[in-house]
């Protein structure tokens, strides 16, 4: 005969078979993994039930029940393998056929650190993410919503080919994660990781001189990551709980060697630049008070002069008469994370099991700009402020409908809420400089706009995706609800599975 036990949490189980007139057969150790069938063969011998035969041996090397190609990681591997930033998505790169994309989403919209990875050459957004059997992929950016903490993961499976039909929304790979559950015994963990600039080497090209105030070559850089987990029983053999928390306090320093206009150039004197400047009205070379390549004061734009007052003066000797690489910018970016998961598992009655999970990721990032009030390039990952809150809810119920039918019902919901603001939110520098049509209020159109000065001595200022990776102001509010019903039918030596997956999304993104 054929016997199937569905909807088991990943872990190690004991399998026992009893029948009157036969000896009891016991397999003491059967490893069950996520989204995987583990076959166990039993042979009953004549004898009394009180007699016992222990069956040893693992699962067959050849998998015949499915054709998918996958890689699995259990709790020990996830916590013991060296991952400097403890970022779960980096484990996907250990799967054959994967490659990290050359560009990554801005840290302001992706504070959970989802890594964009191509699976078998397919677009990164085609990779599906499942968390406890519910959707965990942002439909607009195509990245993971809840990047699970390593302490919360019981097991993960990364399928790169031939996944089952129920994962039909994926076109590249499927990353399935199951969170931990409690047990009859109480288990927990604590962790802490710390780094600072004393363990780093300085960049000789941008950190060749100490900061005039702090005296440090490397700006303040500290990373403090800490947390823990605990799981146990609410009622023996029936109800269990698990929870974990991870906090990150990150101060990362950064330096840049940039070019800004010299003090003379701001007055119209471009003679040190070695380039002839011509009057666009007459075609003649500019000349003022007998000096060539000097723009007369009356020909200077007052709007440009007002903007230039926001750009700092050179603070380094530079090259080419001090007109290039003459400004060193340094500063530190602040990042805070508070993430936690809470899960309850219960056995309602024989043949009925249920679970519920709530996850939250709260992130805040405040990054400096190279030119202070003039904006300019980011010094670390963002020149602005990012405030993000991600949430996920999952509920599942499975129950037996007789000996041959099994039903599985799941509900999932997530919320991806991103707010990104410029460094000078609430101000009107463009309007103050006399540039109309840009700062229309002190909220969504406030701040210095993006400015691009082209050429070999050019520079960028203000805020913008092409300036300081601040696509701001940005309001991104995405929600998705999911209802899944699967029914499994056992018939002789066959299993038939069919179901429905309904999703409703509410997506708003205004950059």
> Of residues 335 and 34, which shows the higher confidence score?
335
pLDDT of residue 63 exceeding 70: no
Q: Is the pLDDT of residue 369 over 70?
A: yes
Confidence label for 403 from pLDDT (cuts 50, 70 and 90): confident
pLDDT digits (tens, 9 = 90+) for 177-196: 999 999 999 999 999 999 88
pLDDT, position 389: 96
52 versus 261: which is more confidently predicted? 261
Over residues 89-104, the pLDDT tens digits come to 988 888 888 999 888 8
Tell me which H or E stretch contains 302. helix 302-308
- Residue 19 in tokens: 């029948």
The confidence score (pLDDT) of residue 486 equals 93
At residue 4, the pLDDT reads 81
**pLDDT score, position 220:** 78
pLDDT value at residue 342: 97
Nearest partner of 111 among 84, 87, 127, 79, judged by Cα: 87
pLDDT at 57: 60
Mean pLDDT for the stretch of residues 293-308 = 94
Q: pTM for this structure?
A: 0.84
Question: pLDDT at position 53, please?
Answer: 84
Count Cβ atoms within 10 A of the Cβ of residue 298 and give its class: 0-12 exposed, 13-18 middle, 19 or more buried: exposed
The more confident residue out of 403 and 475 is 475
Q: What is the pLDDT of residue 59?
A: 56
Distance (Å, whole) CA 425 – CA 447: 5
Which residues are bridge partners to 351 per DSSP? none
* More confidently predicted of 288 and 2: 288
* pLDDT score at 64: 61
Distances (CA, A) of 346 to 61, 134, 238, 343, 393: 34, 18, 5, 10, 17
Residue 60 has pLDDT above 60, yes or no: no
Mean pLDDT, residues 68-75 taken together = 80
Q: What is the mean pLDDT of residues 401-405?
A: 86
What percent of the chain has pLDDT above 70?
97
Q: Output the pLDDT for position 3.
A: 82
Quote the CA–CA distance of 479 and 474 in Å, as a whole number: 17
What percent of the chain clears pLDDT 90, i.e. is strictly above it?
Answer: 56
Predicted local distance difference test score (pLDDT) of residue 1? 75
Asked if the model's pLDDT at residue 78 lies above 80, the reply is: yes
CA distance 305 to 136: 49
Instruction: Taking residues 68-83, report their average pLDDT.
Output: 82
pLDDT tens digits, one per residue of 260-297: 999 999 999 999 998 899 999 999 999 998 899 999 99
**Highest-scoring range by mean pLDDT, 58-62, 63-67, 294-298:** 294-298
Range with lowest mean pLDDT among 170-179, 214-223, 227-236, 412-421: 214-223
DSSP string, 314-339: P-S--BTTTTBS-EEEEEEEEEEEEE
What is the average per-residue pLDDT within 52-74?
Answer: 71
pLDDT of residue 224: 92
């Amino acid at each position: 005969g054929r016997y199937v036990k569905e909807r088991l949490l990943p872990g190690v189980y004991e399998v026992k078979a009893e029948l009157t007139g036969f000896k009891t057969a016991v397999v003491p150790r059967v490893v069950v993994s996520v989204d995987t069938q583990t076959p166990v063969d039993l042979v009953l011998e004549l004898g009394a039930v009180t007699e016992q035969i222990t069956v040893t041996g693992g699962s067959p090397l050849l998998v015949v029940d499915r054709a998918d190609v996958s890689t699995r990681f259990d709790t020990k591997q996830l916590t013991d393998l060296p991952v400097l930033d403890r970022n779960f998505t980096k484990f996907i790169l250990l799967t054959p056929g994967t490659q990290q994309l050359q560009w990554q989403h801005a840290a302001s919209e992706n504070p959970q650190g989802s890594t964009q990875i191509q699976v078998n050459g397919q677009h990164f957004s085609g990779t599906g993410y499942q968390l406890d059997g519910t959707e965990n992929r942002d439909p607009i950016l195509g990245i993971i919503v809840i990047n699970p903490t390593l302490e919360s993961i019981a097991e993960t499976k990364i399928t790169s080919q031939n996944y089952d039909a129920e994962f039909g929304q994926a076109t590249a790979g499927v990353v399935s994660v199951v969170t931990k559950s409690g047990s009859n015994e109480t288990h927990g963990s604590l962790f802490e990781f710390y780094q600072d600039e004393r363990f780093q080497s300085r960049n000789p090209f941008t950190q060749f001189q100490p900061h005039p105030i702090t005296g440090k070559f490397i700006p303040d850089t500290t990373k403090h990551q800490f947390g823990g987990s605990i799981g146990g029983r609410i009622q023996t053999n029936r109800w269990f709980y698990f929870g974990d928390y991870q906090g990150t306090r990150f101060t990362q320093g950064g330096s840049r060697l940039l070019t800004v206009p010299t003090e003379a150039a701001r007055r119209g004197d471009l003679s040190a630049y070695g380039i002839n400047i011509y009057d666009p009205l007459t075609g003649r070379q500019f000349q003022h008070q007998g000096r060539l390549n000097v723009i007369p004061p009356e020909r200077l734009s007052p709007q440009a002069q007002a903007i230039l007052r926001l750009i700092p003066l050179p603070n380094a000797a530079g090259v080419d008469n001090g007109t290039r690489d003459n400004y060193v910018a340094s500063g530190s970016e602040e990042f805070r994370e508070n993430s936690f998961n809470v899960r309850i598992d219960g056995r309602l009655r024989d043949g009925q099991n249920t679970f519920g999970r709530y996850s939250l990721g709260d992130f805040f990032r405040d990054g400096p700009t190279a030119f202070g009030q003039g904006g300019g390039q980011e010094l670390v990952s963002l020149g602005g402020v990012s405030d993000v809150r991600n949430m996920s809810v999952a509920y599942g119920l499975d129950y037996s409908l007789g000996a041959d039918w099994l039903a599985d019902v799941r509900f999932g919901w997530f919320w991806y809420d991103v707010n990104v603001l410029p460094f000078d939110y609430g101000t009107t520098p463009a309007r103050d400089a006399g540039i109309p049509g840009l700062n229309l209020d002190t909220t969504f159109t406030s701040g210095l706009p993006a400015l691009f000065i082209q050429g070999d001595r050019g520079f960028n200022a203000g805020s913008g995706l092409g300036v300081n990776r601040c696509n701001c102001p940005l309001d991104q509010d995405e929600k998705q609800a999911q209802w899944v019903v699967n029914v499994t039918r056992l018939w002789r030596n066959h299993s038939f599975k069919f179901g429905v997956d309904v999703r409703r999304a509410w997506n708003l993104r205004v950059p």
